[in-house]
Structure 1
Amino acid sequence: MYRNIVVEDDNVLRCLRFNVRTSKTNQSCMFKDDPNKLVFNYTKLLFASLLVMEEAPKNILIIGLGGGTMSNALHQIYPEAIIENVEIDPAVIKVAREYFGFFENGSVTSKVQDGRIFIKRAGLKQQKYDWIILDAFNGDYIPEHLLTREFLAEAKQILTPKGVLSSNTFSTSELYAHESATYLDVFGDFFNVTHENNGNRIILTTNFGLPSETIISSRAKELHDTLKPFGVNTIELTTFFTSTKDEKDWPSDTKVLTDQYSPANLLKN
């Protein structure tokens, strides 16, 4: 309904790709002989979120399923956690189940719905999440209604007091400044987590302020052995953090994205 989906195999990898006109083609990949090991750097960067959490997450919301890689990994790490995956395209869920081993049970679920609508309704029902992961991608960029101040305010509303929100976005887009200004407007200072060999950035923010480097380093040591089987080096992750407390690398007069102003289709490149 939304786009063509292609699953491609080579000798090592199986990848899910949206057949659209973009250079960012692969949405999810897995090593066929080691499905637990993460392929993409950006997925590994998402685990930086665990380094700022005061305790293990019990309720996790993932907007944008891909191949279900993140959900599967988190279920193995936190088997008692409730993980809700929200994906607008039912075909993506079908492909994730059939080709990527996407795992579901009583505590790991998937729902076909627009992420904005799901979060809006969750707020009305006063649902709360310890960790919200925004990883929606339409094959071209993040859908524009998932970039605005109004949407982020709705997401913030359903975070627990110790909750963390992680957003997978890009460090090489003309939207960079607008996204940064918008997250700052809603959440205050945040972490950027980036890798020099990758165009992605993880915007990482919390409902309780940003922890110190000492706390992050301590947590990295605690989680090192847990995340190592997934190809995540938590000690290395700590070197990818920068804080907007120390540096705001966008113009101070940058316009915030709103439901009335969100030209993602014009600024994505």
Structure 2
Amino acid sequence: MRNCLLFLAVLFSVAAHSNVVHEERSLYRNIIVDETHDLRCLKFNTKSSQTSQSCMYKNNPDKLVFNYTKLTFASLLVTDNPKNVLIIGLGGGTLSNVIHALYPAAKIHNVEIDPAVLKVARNYFNFIENDAVTSSVQDGRIFIKRAAIKKQKYDWIILDAFNGDYIPEHLLTKEFFEEVKSVLAEGGVIAANTFSSSKLYEHESATYHAVFGDFINVSRANRSNRIILAGVNSMPTEAQINQRIKALNPRLKKYDVDLKAISTYMQSTKNKQDWPANTKVLTDQYSPANLLNF
């Protein structure tokens, strides 16, 4: 849930004018909800920085704020009409709300380790829960393990549990990705929000490739975030992309998501494997993700 550096700079420049509407210390972090003009943001406050995890425009809550959130919808160019969606990492619940609006019949389950984050999403970010949209407070890997035992399958799995200050290392290993793969339905896709501007990039890419084979990178030039689309071994054809853009873009317009533009940021590693062949794969025994993330 790491937003682009430019947007962080803008937020920092107006921080003195922000109004804190909620603040608490959870088991995992210091949580702040503040408002600057029309923008309400969920932030995690650490000793070194304050990072925005989720934001919404109070006067237009449908409009997405962060580019990485918009890029996540590249998933819809490679999978069609998801019926069972799993989201690891809640933030303000933005992704869940939009997916529910697009596919009201789909079953969506959100997994968040911090009960305080779930409470904040409910109280300050219009997070929707109903018969179709459910939530659990649990470690994402434990949830995946139990889902595998129950032989549950999901056709869209979104991994959004990282932030700029800390990476849950057990969610970035070959063994974890193998567990995720075991609950991915045939024809489904995994969308992982991650980074493109650290030493972690090569190790992470090698680890995804070791489990899923070729994957799709979705990233904009000179931006710190990327979305990895895994579980799909090749790019959809131009005809398939155009067909889905035509069907989905009118529905996504209110969220400020342009699939036509996003499609130009997609690139398969089949044609561009941009990490050394001998890059070490991250495992449960070797996963120095936080040391590499700088």
Taking every aligned residue pair, what percent have the same amino acid on both sides?
A: 63
- 1:173 is displaced (CA, Å) by 1.2
- 1:21 is displaced (CA, Å) by 4.2
Residue of structure 2 in register with 1:218 after alignment: 243
Aligned with 2:149 (options 124, 128, 134): 124
SS at match of 1:162: strand
Aligned with 1:29 (options 55, 60, 70): 55
**CA deviation digits over 1:94-117, x for unaligned, max 9?**
000000011100110110000000
Q: Is 2:98 the counterpart of 1:73?
A: yes
Are the aligned partners of 2:43 and 2:50 in contact in 1 as well (CA < 8 Å)? no
SS at match of 2:264: helix
Residues 1:46 and 1:24: Cα distance change in structure 2 (over 3 Å): farther
Residue of structure 1 in register with 2:71 after alignment: 45
- 1:205 is displaced (CA, Å) by 1.6
**Unaligned 5+ runs, structure 2:** 1-26
Moved more, 36-45 or 140-149: 140-149
Are the aligned partners of 2:191 and 2:229 in contact in 1 as well (CA < 8 Å)? yes
CA distance in structure 1 between the aligned counterparts of 2:86 and 2:132, rounded to whole angstroms? 12
CA distance in structure 2 between the aligned counterparts of 1:158 and 1:130, rounded to whole angstroms? 9
SS at match of 1:25: strand
CA distance in structure 2 between the aligned counterparts of 1:157 and 1:24, rounded to whole angstroms? 36
Moved more, 204-213 or 121-130: 204-213
Aligned with 1:159 (options 184, 196, 214): 184
CA distance in structure 2 between the aligned counterparts of 1:220 and 1:22, rounded to whole angstroms? 41
1:1-269 correspondence to structure 2 within 5 Å: 1-21=27-47, 25-53=51-79, 55-137=80-162, 140-196=165-221, 198-206=223-231, 209-269=234-294
CA distance in structure 2 between the aligned counterparts of 1:220 and 1:250, rounded to whole angstroms? 31
Output the TM-score relative to the length of structure 1. Answer: 0.96
Output the TM-score relative to the length of structure 2. Answer: 0.88
CA distance in structure 2 between the aligned counterparts of 1:247 and 1:139, rounded to whole angstroms? 26
Are the aligned partners of 2:214 and 2:232 in contact in 1 as well (CA < 8 Å)? no
Are the aligned partners of 1:159 and 1:207 in contact in 2 as well (CA < 8 Å)? no
- 1:138 is displaced (CA, Å) by 5.3
Structure 1 runs of 4+ aligned residues shifted over 6 Å read: none
Are the aligned partners of 2:234 and 2:270 in contact in 1 as well (CA < 8 Å)? no
Moved more, 40-49 or 209-218: 209-218
- 1:31 is displaced (CA, Å) by 0.5
Residues 1:70 and 1:142: Cα distance change in structure 2 (over 3 Å): same
Are the aligned partners of 2:77 and 2:244 in contact in 1 as well (CA < 8 Å)? yes
SS at match of 2:116: helix
Q: Which amino acid counterpart does residue 192 of structure 2 have in structure 1?
A: S
CA distance in structure 1 between the aligned counterparts of 2:166 and 2:219, rounded to whole angstroms? 18
Residues 1:21 and 1:254: Cα distance change in structure 2 (over 3 Å): farther
**Unaligned 5+ runs, structure 1:** none
**CA deviation digits over 1:130-153, x for unaligned, max 9?**
100000025513310000000000
SS at match of 2:123: helix
Are the aligned partners of 1:168 and 1:200 in contact in 2 as well (CA < 8 Å)? yes
Q: How many residues are treated as equivalent by the alignment?
A: 268
Are the aligned partners of 1:20 and 1:139 in contact in 2 as well (CA < 8 Å)? no
Residue of structure 1 in register with 2:13 after alignment: none
